Amino acid sequence: MFTVLNHLDLSYLHEVLVIGLFEKNKQLDGLAGEMNELLDGQLMTLLKEGDISAKKKAVTKVHTLGKINIKRLYFVGLGKEEDLTFEVLREAFGKLFKTVKEAKLTKIAVALDTFTNGKIDYNEAAHALAEALPLATYQFAGYKQKANEPEKQIEKVIVYTQGAQEEVQASLTVGYVYGEATNSARTLVNMPGNMLTAADLADYAVEMAKKYDFEYEVLEKEDMEKLGMGAFLAVNQGSAEPPKMIVLKYQGKETWENVIGLVGKGVTFDTGGYSLKPRESMVDMKTDMAGAAAVLGAMEIIGELRPEQNVVAVIPATDNMISGHALKPDDVITSMSGKTIEVKNTDAEGRLILADAITYAKHHGANYIVDVATLTGGVIVALGNHTTGAMTNNEQLFEQLLEASAETGEFIWRLPITEKDKERVRSSKIADLNNSPGREGHAIMGGAFLSEFAEDTPWVHLDIAGTSVTSSAHDLGPAGATGVMVRTLAAFVERFE
């Protein structure tokens, strides 16, 4: 996919050469200046007349009409040099790759050094480039009958740079792995519930485990009954599909200690149960397993890059359906931890399956836990569709996750859990906990409930209900699943201390 070279050889015929362009008082310097001289000053004329733009994320195509050994130049606007950030650069590359794909080009060359400034070096630019390629060009294959002619894809990217070739190549590899794993998660989330049952999700995880030599375990219903996973099993009661508790273990250290637990909500379709969702709210509930997809995507990156960390991934997988056996409001159930739960809302099912999953992660030796879930509509009311809600019981763990999210551009915002919030989830008169003590602070109630099962284990909860899907296309992908938190979890694991 990527070839790194230190010298741009103009004796070689290029279909496309891509050059980054900063706003510099209508001047062309560096490689752009060299191209301008070779083209008898015509690029400068185009720049002055506004036919070439250096504005942020603008992409301009220029035909050279056979005057040099490059058929077309693509200029990518980067705005003011001092304002360039990793996120802006990645989005600019995304815009470029969307444009290149629409032009049905399969091979391009990129002058990487023209995309660097004092804050972004060769390696960061390479990572942004490689990550943007799969993200921006992703499409869910779907189930339509296909035409015979396959769609052209970008197959080769030549990267010219004065940076160290091995380091740049390594950064390209890491970036591409991050992008591809995010796409894997997107595909899982985009799949309909009848095509991705709990058993299908377990099969996917097992194949991943075999590919990357992870230890794995898939608990069946009988196993869960023996372990007393009453909260998880209660959600599955109304389903014809058997539940699966999926465990993947990656050991990157000599001993199984300082273990990071990644827990992902895997509700493959959510009707709400007897607390039935309205018709409009039930559409797209196939995406209620986006937390599980994020964890699996992160495990794909971990499997590819092999960090020196110990990680256990735990995914409770089931749908939430209605039948004569289904969980009812007012039922009291007993979790694996022994804590009893009064169920006031069967549509607050994610916290029930996560309760047993968090307990089981600790059973497997998790010393730190991050859970990811499309848990509440309340987080969308609070933070909108671009920011993930977070809650924690440990400042140090949260700060590390916050740094990872800032690095990947997947923003999170912390919501509080106070003693008053804890009292509300303990407000049942007949059980230890109430799974839904009211609409006020609904997102916080979900986190406060889960904190009862994390107990003293350092823990962060990520509510991705608003960020797991998008209704419109963007520079780094189409409408649909976003694969949010795949890269943040992987970056967090890789740099965890």
Binding site feature residues for Mn(2+): 265, 270, 288, 347, 349
Binding site feature residues: 265, 270, 288, 347, 349
Q: How far apart are CA 374 and CA 469, in angstroms?
A: 10
Pairing of strands 366-373, 259-264: parallel
Can 98 be counted among the known catalytic residues? no
Cβ atoms of 56 and 22 closer than 8 Å: no
Tokens standing for residue 98: 């969307």
**What values do phi and psi take at 37, rounded to 5?**
-65, -45
CB atoms within 10 A of CB 245: 27
Catalytic, out of 71, 277, 344, 426: 277
Q: How far apart are CA 17 and CA 71, in angstroms?
A: 8
Q: How far apart are CA 262 and CA 357, in angstroms?
A: 10
Q: Which residues pair with 80 in a beta bridge?
A: none
Cβ atoms of 368 and 261 closer than 8 Å: yes
Can 487 be counted among the known catalytic residues? no
Catalytic, out of 339, 351, 362, 487: 351
Q: How far apart are CA 443 and CA 292, in angstroms?
A: 19
In SS3 terms, the chain reads as CEEEECCCCCCCCEEEEEEEECCCCCCCCHHHHHHHHHCCCHHHHHHHCCCCCCCCCCEEEEECCCCCCEEEEEEEECCCHHHCCHHHHHHHHHHHHHHHHHCCCCEEEEEHHHHCCCCCCHHHHHHHHHHHHHHHHCCCCCCCCCCCCCCCCCCEEEEECCCCHHHHHHHHHHHHHHHHHHHHHHHHHHCCCCCCCHHHHHHHHHHHHHHHCCEEEEECHHHHHHHCCHHHHHHHCCCCCCCEEEEEEEECCCCCCCEEEEEECEEEEECCCCCCCCHHHHCCHHHHHHHHHHHHHHHHHHHHHCCCCEEEEEEEEEEECCCCCCCCCCCEEECCCCCEEECCCCCCCHHHHHHHHHHHHHHCCEEEEEEEECCCCHHHHHHCCCCEEEEECCHHHHHHHHHHHHHHCCCEEECCCCHHHHHHHCCCCCCCEECCCCCCCHHHHHHHHHHHHHCCCCEEEEECCCCCEECCCECCECCEECCCCHHHHHHHHHHCC
Catalytic residue positions, numbered: 277, 351
